[in-house]
Structure 1
Amino acid sequence: MTGAAASAGPLLLGVRHHGPGSARAVLAALEAARPRVVLIEGPPEGDALLPLAADEQMRPPVALLAHAVDDPGRAAFWPMAEFSPEWVAIRWALAHGVPARFIDLPAAHSLALTEPGTEEPPGSPAVDPIGVLAETAGYDDPERWWEDVVEHRAPDGGAVDPLAPFAVLAEAMTALREVYGDGGHPRDSVREAFMRIQLRSARKEFGEEIAVVCGAWHVPALAAKTTLAADRALLKGVPKVKTELTWVPWTHRRLARHSGYGAGIDSPGWYGHLFGAPDRPVERWMTKVAGLLRAEDRFISSAHVIEAVRLAGGLAAVRGRPLPGLTETMDAIRAVMCEGSDVPLALVRDRLVIGETLGEVPDSAPAVPLQRDLNRLQRTLRLKPEPSERELELDLRKDTDAARSRLLHRLRLLDVGWGDRAVGRGSTGTFRETWRLRWEPELHVRVAEAGVWGTTVLSAATAKAESEAVSATALAEVTALAERCLLGELAEALPVVMNALADRAALDADVSHLAEALPALARSLRYGDVRATDTASLGAVAAGLAERICVGLPPACTGLDADGAEELRRRIDGVHTAIGLLAGAGAGAGADAGAEGEAGARARAGDQAGSADGLRERWAAVLRKLAGRDTVAGVIRGRATRLLLDDGQLSQDEAARLMGLALSPGTPPTDAAAWIEGFVGGAAGGGMLLVHDERLLSLIDAWLSGVRASAFTDVLPLLRRTFSAYEPGVRRTLGELVRRGPSPDRHRGGAEPAPSGFGPGIDESRADAVVPVLRLLLGLDTEPAPRIDHTDLPMGATA
């Protein structure tokens, strides 16, 4: 903190932004000096918003948000916490009826200076004034020096004259400016010229009874003797854009980043505690930590708190510090409450040292219409923005949850990333959704950007979807957009998207593009069923794409290199899943007879079910072609074989025969390894298939054992990639089965000897022993336990 005595002119209160010690000292100085006006570093366009700081709904941390009207993405924030000196000055002025004004360079200029081609000219390396002063005082840590000389002073400043600390640091900053000049920030001269002009205007209006709260670095420049003409010359030609300003909520976590004033702090939660604790801050801090750890089921007694306080004090004495700082308290917490572990200490740092506090802004604050509509929806749906990440489980059969899902999907289409889809732990049905929600202050900028599309979330999402449909060039882009429109229930946009989809699908002859587009359409049909959306036109397009894929896929799978084959293998997986969804949607089409009558519904459902069955059979025929053609890449042939086996379209004997052909001595080792990767890699349960099917494991084992040493290094990367995807337990089981070696007395139809890890047969007594437990879990313990028909179990499996 720096400054000058009131008698020497305006009271220049240099501060460290977001410093609780600075905030306490500013409050004491204002109470002593009682100025007629308070000037604060900040954009002058925010003067009209200052009265809102006294609103009961205003809860810091908050930030002034300025954005360019024609380009909302160009924005800047001026964050303030409860312990920020600027916030304390604003609140003091409002409480005492004293005018408060911002005097920094207007946001209209500062945002214009962020345009391409207006970057700040390079200067000398940026100087950290606090770091220089700390080093001069013999400290190796600027934060520790600041705590010792500022934060650990008594609440009244520890001095008779509350202005004295400002004067002392004013001299220090003056010396630093004489050595380092602008400190590596040439643009500061423009800002300081504008602040001097504002200071001159205030002096004409209020005389010398003025208090200025600004960064300590600027105090020497504001005290310098310059002419008005010279300052205006510095501002000549500075670009300007039209801007809008408002208050937005901020978070402690965002304060911990270098943003806004460019003065990010590492421990906003700790600073907030220091500012708010009336007395005994260390004792209160340790009590707060104990409460957090107890909530996490850690045994923390009052004795732990007492001992941690004592240890922190002892560490401060040994290190020559006036009071325990954050370093001493965290060291004491680690030793006493965390038993030397950094794991619970990380929780303390995340929850308390940084903190999850989210500010609040009154409804009367200016906002774009889209933001107001979003605020209304958040209140209606009871979806309060929170700074910490949380999971939200939605049941789409419930009206409120369905409305929440619509809102989140519409916001995603508008690029307002409040929520991300996640894999739920519960049901895998399409009537459930899992979201991870986390509100970041920057989302207010995203909402402002999206405001160009409409005044409500629905109208904005609809307009943007229609625009993207018209401008999309790839078929996959349109199908993905159709899925998002169905998820967000954008009924007005869907016809435009469907027309674009039909046009792109008719013109695109690339099978790879068609295969990429089909999965999104199939998912859309299922989602449409859940949301009772009419998807008849979408189903027709999807069926047409599936037919074209079935015709064009076999020729497209020949003559591919390794990368192309792997890419097409992934597309085949997606098409296989999509056709399963299409078949399922067709089979369930007659569930609701509706207004057309039961007989008509049954007839329509029968036609659709027949069409779905025909599509499934055609796809199975395509997979058989792929599995049996030598000209098809090995990874695709292997995957086609696996998909047929999983769907029951291929017997285990036939699968073993195809594997035997693929792994025959005449097949190049790299092709054989690719076939194995397609068959047992990537697909769910590939490792368990080998665990329970001794013939397939024997074939792979025998082939791998016979690979020449010169070729082994070529196939090893493929095999590693295949088997590394398995669970550790599956890999251990496979390794144990192979380690035991083949059993020479057990042969299956001329195949290689099976590894001896497989049992000679099913142990029926062990299988029957499981039945009582299963019946108890299923609630069937009142009925007699039937004997299991062990012939239905998979080959090689034991119950």
Structure 2
Amino acid sequence: MSDDSTWGRAYAHGPAEPASDDSTWGKAHAPGPAEPASDDDSTWGKVYARGPLLLGVRHHGPGSARAVRAALEAARPEVVLIEGPPEADPLIPLAADPEMRPPVALLAHAVDEPGRSAFWPLAEFSPEWVAIRWALEQGVPARFVDLPATHTLAWDTESDAPQGTDAGGDTPAGTGDQDEPGAEEGSGPGEEAGPGRDLRVDPLAVLAETAGHDDPERWWEDVVEHRGSGLGDPFAPFTALEEAMTALRERYGAAGRPRDLVREAHMRLKVRAARKEFGDAVAVVCGAWHVPALRERTTVTADRALLKGLPKVRTDLTWVPWTHRRLARASGYGAGIDSPGWYGHLFRARDRPVERWLTKVAGLLREEDRVVSSAHVIEAVRLAETLAAMRGRPLPGLSETTEAVRAVMCDGSDVPLALVHDRLVVGDVLGEVPQAAPAVPLQRDLAREQRRLRLRPEALERELELDLRGGTDAGRSRLLHRLRLLGVDWGEPARSRGSTGTFRETWRLRWEPELSVRVAEAGVWGTTVLAAATARAEAEATAARALADVTTLAEHCLLAGLPDALPVVMRVLADRAALDTDVGHLAQALPALVRSLRYGDVRGTDTGALAGVAAGLAERIFVGLPPACAALDTDAAEEMRSHVDAVHGAVGLLAETPTGTPGTGHADLRARWRSVLRTLALRDTVPGVVRGRAVRLLLDDGELGPGEAARLMGLVLSPGTPPADAAAWIEGFVGGGGGMLLVHDDRLLTLVDSWLTGVSAEAFTDVLPLLRRTFSAYEPAVRRTLGELVRRGPGGPAVPASRAVGTPGFAAEPDAERADAVLPVLRLLLGPDPEEAAEHGRTQRTAEAVGLVGVGG
């Protein structure tokens, strides 16, 4: 390219003198009327070759952002065209609002299907954002020129899902039905390919490999991000990058991105329209990958043909907050970057970026109570600079500073280094959008509620402790529960650490950009959070198929404070409960219903109707449970045991709450349930796991004495009971935390021990998996104690004499004379040391069942 055709010469000192080359940019901007074009005005080459200033960039690249600002300052175009959806042009002035703080994103969603959506994220170091801000500051029109969102959202993403590339082949990050671009696929950068071949290539990887670098990120930092702004020709980096991309497009064609051809056709039409309106002083900021296509000579007819017949869908666009974490590649956004926090620092740090970065790292580590002094910072800077010099890099990059931090400030540990990466390299910066931005009514009401309750959205996950006895905390709880009912999972309930009372709630809060889409989706239910949650609850109650779903929904209505929805839910609940004859369904529904009764005192909700329905469900379960437990297979028996546990806990809560049914007392309700448990415990047709659980629950409630429990266990573990049935009974009785029963009750442990030693070898192998599953649920300390008791045996030091008295098979002290009398016979039958062999075999089996050793170990 001749000197007259360079951007620097054209813009350096005002109007350029006529050059010999008519195609130069300088002559196109010389004062006076432009030379008439040839007769063929329809071709890109003859009409626009001298016109647009094409600034090819890497999305979210701070070096590209600085270069764009420098180029715009030098060129002073009359209009700036930016890669993005044209429907967002009315939203561009909001970028100058003082309340607008990046990172933000343009959100486009289908009006009739809000879940079909797409994002165009912008950070403060994004070249597009810099171009927008420059145009607004200079009073220059700024417009988006990419394919309209009406086509992007309607396109069949499954048949032709676009693949993003940081060098410019970027597409919006999508949610819902709009697929998110993933990592590049296809051939590697070094594979043979010809023009037009259907390959997906990463342009940066190809350029880096061509330059002899194995890391595209490191190569890009060296040639772009670490290049000082304002030095030399401001257009030189764009010229070099355009030449490189032109070579890549000649070799790889569309590189496996057929959608890019359509997008580029639309961009060319937009550039033509801008030139007709503003002349040649047009600047285009787009992905570097698209620059050769915008230089390509095509006809208007050909470009319009590519756009003909594209599907359409009605769309709405607005600005929404974004986060640095969502800019990271780990989030799934294909045009993301690995280190948005680091790139933001490079963009803001005009001088000495390494020193400022390491000082910031030291401050973070000090906040975490690590000893980091100024001497550490100085030494880390020296080490990073030394590493960069050894590797031939112009400045230390992220890899060098990270290694210096690990060696100097973290003592070689990756644990504090992970904190630095999470908090600084990636970061939890959350952008802000002004209230003037367009939003669905539900979003505006949510924003009002957030301000009223002082519940600010934050990108960093935090725990929120609520005391429901206070008005503000109760309102926060209702808002979070209503949002969960609408599918906007801003908060997730967590276990309270300080108190187990019903007046306490703990939430884990974290605002994600996708929640804006969920709010837009929920807007179909109403214009306020309360109205939308009420309508959603009523609709779900009507559509629910399972009784348990309705009872769970009733609980959610109470938690969310939806008095208008509760009557509809209760009516559906009463109808479903009256028609449902499956005891399993009734048992699933009762616990959630009874839990809801506890919220009346704390939340001020009338739960009288719930109490009546709950009492009716309990009565039906009492009648139908024994017959339903007959003739069950193994899986069904396990499920029924869980139902028995749930009903037992629900009855305990229900007995402490007024049922609302005349003549129904607390003690009577509890007594009837205990009668049902006795029936289950004594009926032979009931599976062993259910019978064992019934005995255990009666024992825990004090309705069954230890002697009676031992008698029932002795009957089950008698030789006449099949080993599999006996093992199932043991699982039901001592499973789920029953280990302490065996530790403190010698009779029960003796019965289990004796039964295990009497099971035949074949049967023992069959029941061992079941027993191991039972005992594996015990705490390690409980298992060790049981193993020690079994190892020491009857009357050992671990069993005091006071506990051994009266225990079958145990004497107050060992009878040594009687034991010695059988030794000769045992030696004759079993060989040497028969006592040790017998004792070892007995303890080995019990230890295997408890899980202290493996089979045969």
> TM-score, with normalisation over the residues of structure 1?
0.88
With over 3 angstroms needed to count, the CA separation of the structure-2 counterparts of 1:96 and 1:258, relative to structure 1, is farther
Larger of the two Rg values belongs to structure: 2
Match for 1:82 among 116, 124, 148?
124
Q: 1:700: how far off?
A: 2.4
- Which whole-Å CA distance do the structure 2 matches of 1:94 and 1:372 have between them? 27
Deviation at 1:259, TM superposition (A): 7.4
Say whether residues 1:686 and 2:738 are aligned partners: yes
Distance 1:237 1:424 in 2: 57
| Whole-Å separation in 1 of the counterparts to 2:606 and 2:509 | 29
Misfit runs of 4+, over 6 Å: 115-118, 120-123, 258-261
- 2:806 maps to 1:749: yes
* C-alpha distance 258-16 of structure 1, shift in aligned 2 (>3 A): farther
State the partner residue of 2:703. Answer: 649
- Written as runs of structure 1 = structure 2, the 5 A alignment for 1:366-381 is 366-381=438-453
User: Paired residue for 2:669?
Assistant: 615
Matched residue SS, 2:508: strand
- 2:771: which partner in 1? 719
1:210 partner amino acid = V
Shifted more, 503-512 versus 338-347: the winner is 338-347
Verify: 1:18 aligned to 2:60, yes or no. Answer: yes
Q: Within 5 Å, give how 1:569-584 maps onto structure 2.
A: 569-584=641-656
Asked if structure 2 preserves the Cα contact closer than 8 Å seen for 1:79 and 1:261, the reply is no
Residues 293/708 of structure 1: CA separation in 2 closer, same or farther (3 Å cut): farther
Cα–Cα, structure 1 residues 301 and 720, in superposed 2: closer, same or farther, change >3 Å?
A: farther
TM-superposed deviation, 1:705: 3.3
Task: Report the 3-state secondary structure (helix = DSSP H, G, I; strand = E; otherwise coil) of the residue aligned with 2:316.
Answer: strand
1:662 to 710, 713, 716: 716
For residues 4-153 of structure 1, the aligned pairs below 5 Å read 5=7, 6-7=25-26, 8-114=50-156, 124-153=198-227
Match of 1:392 in 2: 464
Partner of 2:525: helix, strand, or coil?
coil
* 8 Å CA contact 1:737, 1:755 repeated in 2: no
2:356 aligned to 281, 284, 294, which one?
A: 284
- Mapped partners of 1:474, 1:83: distance in 2: 52
1:750, CA displacement in angstroms? 4.2
Cα deviation for residue 554 of structure 1 reads 0.7
1:732 counterpart (784, 796, 799): 784
Question: What amino acid maps onto 2:686 in structure 1?
Answer: V
Counterparts of 1:503-652 in structure 2, within 5 Å, are 503-586=575-658, 611-652=665-706
Please show how residues 352-363 of structure 1 align to structure 2 within 5 Å.
352-363=424-435
C-alpha contact (below 8 Å) 2:108/2:317 kept by paired residues: yes
Question: 2:159, 2:126 → 1: CA distance?
Answer: 33
Q: Which of 306, 309, 313 is 1:237 aligned to?
A: 309
SS of aligned partner of 2:604: coil
- Aligned equivalents of 1:679, 1:754: Cα separation in 2: 27
Show CA shifts across 1:514-535 (max 9, x none). Answer: 0010011101111223212111
How far is the alpha carbon of 1:672 from its aligned partner? 2.1
CA 660–334 in structure 1, closer or farther in 2 if over 3 Å, else same: farther
Matched residues in 2 for 1:735 and 1:261: separation? Answer: 54
Comparing 129-138 with 59-68, which one deviates more in the overlay? 129-138
Rounded Cα–Cα distance in structure 2 between residues aligned with 1:427 and 1:47: 53
Residue 765 of structure 1 corresponds to which residue in structure 2? none
Match of 2:825 in 1: none
SS of the residue corresponding to residue 585 of structure 1 reads coil
Report the CA distance between 1:92 and its aligned residue.
Answer: 0.6
CA–CA separation in structure 1 for the residues paired with 2:385 and 2:726: 69
In the aligned structure 2, how far is the partner of 1:133 from the partner of 1:396? 60
Q: Supply the distance in 2 between the matched residues of 1:47 and 1:748 (Cα, whole angstroms).
A: 90
SS in 1 for 2:291: helix
Task: Give, as a single letter, the amino acid of the residue that structure 1 aligns with 2:203.
Answer: P
- Specify whether residues 632 and 724 from structure 1 end up closer, same or farther in structure 2 by C-alpha distance, changes over 3 A only: same
- Residue in structure 2 matched with residue 705 of structure 1 by the alignment: 757
Q: How far did 1:209 drift?
A: 1.0
Distance in 2 between residues matched to 1:755 and 1:316, nearest whole Å: 80
Q: Return closer, same or farther for 1:282/1:692 CA change in 2, 3 Å cut-off.
A: farther
Separation in 1, partners of 2:742, 2:384: 58
Q: CA deviation at 1:735?
A: 2.9
For the residues of structure 1 that align with 2:377 and 2:739, how far apart are their CA atoms? 51
Aligned partners of 2:812, 2:719: CA distance in 1, in Å? 21
Distance between the aligned counterparts of 1:41 and 1:259, measured in 2?
22
Q: Give, in whole Å, the separation in 1 of the partners of 2:749 and 2:330.
A: 57
Q: Summarize the Cα distance change of 1:578–1:231 in structure 2 as closer, same or farther, 3 Å threshold.
A: same
Residues 64-463 of structure 1 mapped to structure 2, 5 A cutoff: 64-114=106-156, 124-156=198-230, 159-257=231-329, 262-463=334-535
Q: Percent identity?
A: 74
* CA-CA distance at 1:689 after TM superposition: 3.0
3-state SS, counterpart of residue 112 of structure 1:
coil
Q: By how many angstroms is 1:295 displaced? A: 1.2
CA–CA distance in structure 2, aligned partners of residues 708 and 196 of structure 1: 85
Q: What are the ranges of 5 or more consecutive residues in structure 1 without an aligned counterpart?
A: 590-603, 757-799
Task: Look up the equivalent residue of 1:341 and give its one-letter code.
Answer: S
The 1:388–1:730 alpha-carbon spacing in structure 2 relative to 1, beyond 3 Å, is: farther
Q: Render the CA deviation track for 1:301-335: whole Å, top value 9, x for unaligned.
A: 22221111111112212222221111111111111
Contact 2:325–2:331 (CA under 8 A) maintained in structure 1 = no
Shift in CA distance, 425/120, structure 1 to aligned 2, threshold 3 Å: closer
Unaligned runs of 5+ in 2: 8-24, 27-49, 164-185, 187-196, 814-857
- Residues in 2 aligned to 1:334 and 1:669: alpha-carbon distance in whole angstroms: 59
Question: What's the secondary structure of 2:619's corresponding residue?
Answer: helix
Q: Is the 8 A contact 1:698 1:755 kept in 2?
A: no
* Structure 1 pair 143–536 and aligned structure 2 pair: CA distance change class (3 A): same
The question of whether the paired residues in 2 share the 8 Å contact of 1:78 and 1:260 is answered with no
Q: Secondary structure at the match of 1:385?
A: coil
Query: Aligned-pair distance for 1:434?
Result: 1.2
One-letter amino acid matched to 1:738: V
Q: In structure 2, what residue type is equivalent to 1:726?
A: Y
Tell me the CA shift for residue 611 of structure 1.
1.9
- Whether contact under 8 Å (1:4, 1:170) holds in the other structure is no
CA contact (8 A) 2:626 2:679 kept: yes
Deviation at 1:117, TM superposition (A): 6.7
- The superposition leaves residues 722-768 of structure 1 with CA deviations (integer Å, 9 ceiling, x where unpaired) of 22223333333333333333326774534344999xxxxxxxxxxxx
Match of residue 762 from structure 1: none
Look up the SS of the partner of 1:101 in the other structure: strand
Q: In structure 2, what is the equivalent of residue 785 of structure 1?
A: none
Say if 2:747 and 2:807, in contact at 8 Å, map to a contact too: no
1: CA distance, partners of 2:809 / 2:376:
66
Q: CA deviation at 1:248?
A: 0.3
TM-score normalised by L of structure 2: 0.83
CA contact (8 A) 1:519 1:577 kept: yes
Residue 116 of structure 1: how far off its partner (Å) = 6.7
Provide the C-alpha distance between the structure 2 equivalents of 1:646 and 1:4, rounded to a whole number of angstroms. 90
In the alignment, is the contact (CA less than 8 A) between 1:77 and 1:260 conserved in 2? no
CA-CA distance at 1:246 after TM superposition: 0.3
Take 1:125 and 1:734, find their aligned partners in 2: how far apart are those partners?
A: 65
Render the CA deviation track for 1:226-272: whole Å, top value 9, x for unaligned.
10000000000001111000000000000003779731111111111
- For the 8 Å contact 1:4–1:12, the answer to whether it is kept is no
Shift of 1:712: 2.7
